Amino acid sequence: MRRFSFVKTWKGSEAFSVLLMMAGVAILMSLFAGNAAAQSEPALPVYEVTRAGMGDVQARKLAGALNIPADRLLLRDGVVSFVDPNGYLFVPTVPVSDPAILEKLRATAAQERPETRLRLQAIDFAALEKLPVMGTETALKKTAEAFASAGLRLESAKPATGHAKFTATFTEASNAGASVNHELNTWVNYEFFSKGGHPLIGPGAQVQVTYNGAGTVVQLNYATRELKEGPTVKVLPEEEARERVAKLFPGNARISLKLVYWCPPLRRAPGQKEPISPKFIIPWYAINSKIPVTNPRTGTVSELRSKVQLIPATDDRRFVPTVHLRVSGRERVEAAVEVSGGRAPYTYVWAGSNPVASEQTGASISYVPLVRAVPRPGIVLPDNVTLARRETVGVTVTDANGVMIHESEALTVASHIVPFGKGGGPAASYGTESPREPDFAVDRVGWQNGMASPGAGGGTQVFAWLADLAWPGDFIEPNPPGTLVATPWINGDADYSNWGVNTAAVVLNNTDGWAEGFDSSQPGATIAEYATAELQYPSAADTVVTGLLNGSPTATTQYSNINYNGSWTPVGPNDQLLWLIMDACDILDAADSAGPPSQRWGPAFGGLHLLTGFDSEEQVGDGSFEQDFAENMLGVSGPPQQIVIAWFNAAATAGMSHGVPAVMGALGPGGVCDQFDYYLGKGTQGPTIMPPAVTGWWYIHD
């Protein structure tokens, strides 16, 4: 039995001594400042919750102090939030008026989907350069005065300030090598600490205010609990904590630990019918891992920093549940879990090869295991055929204090073949890639729950590829397009039937990554062998398969040279992809030896509108970030937000320690772009900018 939990945490850098001077990444990096290994303590207090969230009267006082219209302030489950869709991440624009450009852009849109509501706006670079920016000291002072005026005291918090930054680089001949850099909004973020100096992290300990250049508040998130010191618990020795997580990482991983207090969200998270109302906040170990990754072309060694994971730092059964998982079955998987300790009631998030496993929320599940089988020419498989494979079943149990415990077991099953679909999905459609299942299941379920919000218009889920059913080939357009090539898990199936990323309008890729690539899986790989496949950035042009090859052991790493330039596209057979959501560490790091994000990932754009990611590590969490992003985009609890705003706003809600959000896209003729896209049915979209029309790239990060 493995008794550990994980929650997704984002990357960081230096010590808290420079916190006041550094931007958002410093907050995250500080979690692992000082010694590479955590200093174990014999005992630490748990903290008793005396009050959670904010009431209506105090919320109105805060709105008045910050000059936010009270009718635009959202108060839900004690969380106070606000976002100005016209001011947050504001970049000035001008309408596209050139008739030749208009005709070309509209023709591409009609080829993509005739019902598209086009917004043909170009970035006004002259106005951007004149855009005022609020100073950080002014923002700090103004925020402190507003909180004091509203009667809010933040003695245990340390503020940090920074700016969202916009960069544009141009590739057209007249502007070769030219670039534009400008700061946008100014944010103030508060990081909380226990009396012993340990960071309080998570969506339940977050306060952030963002200002435009005129000093107007354009974004607010306030989610805290009042705590008092409670009973002490014995802390696990560091070496024992390392042993418990050893199976989560490869043998060459360098692991460091830090003692923190994880604060769950005040609002409902995936698998929960009601918001969590913890009585106690317990200590955790935040686990940071660094794994060397070698570029096969250059020999350059990069560092893959896995999503930061958390395990309870104590075994005290008053606060930490004990979980026993039983699995059985062959053509149908049966699983049940017994839980004791901690604080009832418990909620459950299940994971298996079949996405319907996660739709079951009780203490037991039953489902048919699935497999992707590649048909051979001239062979028709009967409907009832099954294939033997290893299946990993997982469950994440969350008690009423928000303490999460993860268990998984593997068994040999007879998996049923996933039926082929009819091609690209409907206009409003989404897909999911999640190779590190069941470990990252709660994040994936958060995304799916958000997109499936009743009446929200998320559309149809076209595919959900989990564990060894998630392949690097899903991101590669086959040659010729629309066909099923040999070894599609390596050579491409991006637009085949309902298989690859191009067959849905928006796709979440829930995995580990680094600046030059991301992890995936392959047929026959078990979670113990994750990650058995990688997809490197297009210029590297390599699909890397390690340890296995189609389920069979290999002596050496396999490198397959693949040209997937232009693969991410909404134009072509079965192609629907507009927005690719990289829920992975470091994918959009601003600086890397292979060049900026546009140089690394731009070649894969074949009309893709937006690529989101992080300029830092990320955090394995409770799925609330992914759910918030989907719900922001769809307008579940307010007006629908532009996709870029929805991404950054969800990151602010999760906390700066969750990671540094980033997004990139193409510039077209005259500076036209897709930065201001809404989801389908929620507002307008920009034009599809096909590679011949790309004149540059834009990039925003906090």
pLDDT at 200: 93
pLDDT at 188: 95
Q: Residue 370: pLDDT above 90?
A: yes
Mean pLDDT of 51-80: 91
H/E element, 230: strand 225-234
pLDDT at 256: 87
Q: Residue 529: pLDDT above 60?
A: no
The confidence band for 172, taking pLDDT boundaries of 50, 70 and 90, is low
Please give the Cα distance from 32 to 478 (Å, whole number).
42
Mean pLDDT of 549-556: 52
SS (HEC) of 661-695: EEEEEEECHHHECCCCCCCCCCCCECCCCCHHHCC
The confidence band for 16, taking pLDDT boundaries of 50, 70 and 90, is very low
Q: Residue 82: pLDDT above 70?
A: yes
CB atoms near residue 322 (< 10 Å): 15
Mean pLDDT of 275-293: 86
Mean pLDDT of 667-684: 93
Mean pLDDT of 337-360: 94
Q: Which residue has the higher pLDDT, 509 or 657?
A: 509
Q: Residue 685: pLDDT above 80?
A: yes
Q: Which residue has the higher pLDDT, 593 or 47?
A: 47
Mean pLDDT of 671-689: 93
Say whether pTM exceeds 0.85: yes
Q: Residue 59: pLDDT above 70?
A: yes
Q: Residue 63: pLDDT above 70?
A: yes
Give the tens place of pLDDT for each residue, 214-224.
999 999 999 99
Mean pLDDT of 18-31: 35
Give the tens place of pLDDT for each residue, 114-159.
556 788 899 999 999 999 999 999 999 999 999 999 988 887 789 9
Mean pLDDT of 197-213: 93
Please provide the average confidence, as pLDDT, over all residues in the chain.
84
Task: Select from 630, 635, 634, 664 the least CA-distant residue to 650.
Answer: 630
Which DSSP letter does residue 466 get?
E
Q: Residue 164: pLDDT above 90?
A: yes
Cβ–Cβ < 8 Å for 650, 632: yes
Please give the Cα distance from 362 to 342 (Å, whole number).
18
The token duo for 437 is 């299942």
Mean pLDDT of 521-525: 84
Task: Select from 151, 221, 157, 161 the least CA-distant residue to 188.
Answer: 161
Q: Residue 423: pLDDT above 70?
A: no
Task: Select from 578, 556, 559 the least CA-distant residue to 569.
Answer: 578
The confidence band for 559, taking pLDDT boundaries of 50, 70 and 90, is confident
pLDDT at 412: 93
Domain segments of the chain: what residues? 16-86+133-312
Q: Residue 369: pLDDT above 60?
A: yes
pLDDT at 556: 58
pLDDT at 692: 87
pLDDT at 109: 64
pLDDT at 15: 29
pLDDT at 272: 63
Q: Residue 62: pLDDT above 80?
A: yes
Q: Residue 112: pLDDT above 70?
A: no
Q: Residue 332: pLDDT above 90?
A: yes
pLDDT at 658: 59
Mean pLDDT of 686-702: 92
Mean pLDDT of 403-407: 94
Burial class of residue 586 in the structure, from the number of CB atoms within 10 Å of its CB (0-12 exposed, 13-18 middle, 19+ buried): buried
Share of the chain above pLDDT 90, in %: 56
Q: Residue 320: pLDDT above 90?
A: yes
Mean pLDDT of 414-431: 82
Which DSSP letter does residue 331 get?
S
Share of the chain above pLDDT 70, in %: 84
How many residues make up the chain in this entry? 702
SS (HEC) of 417-439: ECCCCCCCCCCCEEEEEECCCCC
Burial class of residue 499 in the structure, from the number of CB atoms within 10 Å of its CB (0-12 exposed, 13-18 middle, 19+ buried): buried
Percent helix, strand, coil in the chain (nearest 5)?
20, 35, 45
Give the tens place of pLDDT for each residue, 641-658.
999 999 999 999 887 555
Task: Select from 429, 468, 440, 418 the least CA-distant residue to 358.
Answer: 440
Give the tens place of pLDDT for each residue, 470-507.
999 999 998 888 888 888 888 889 988 888 999 999 99
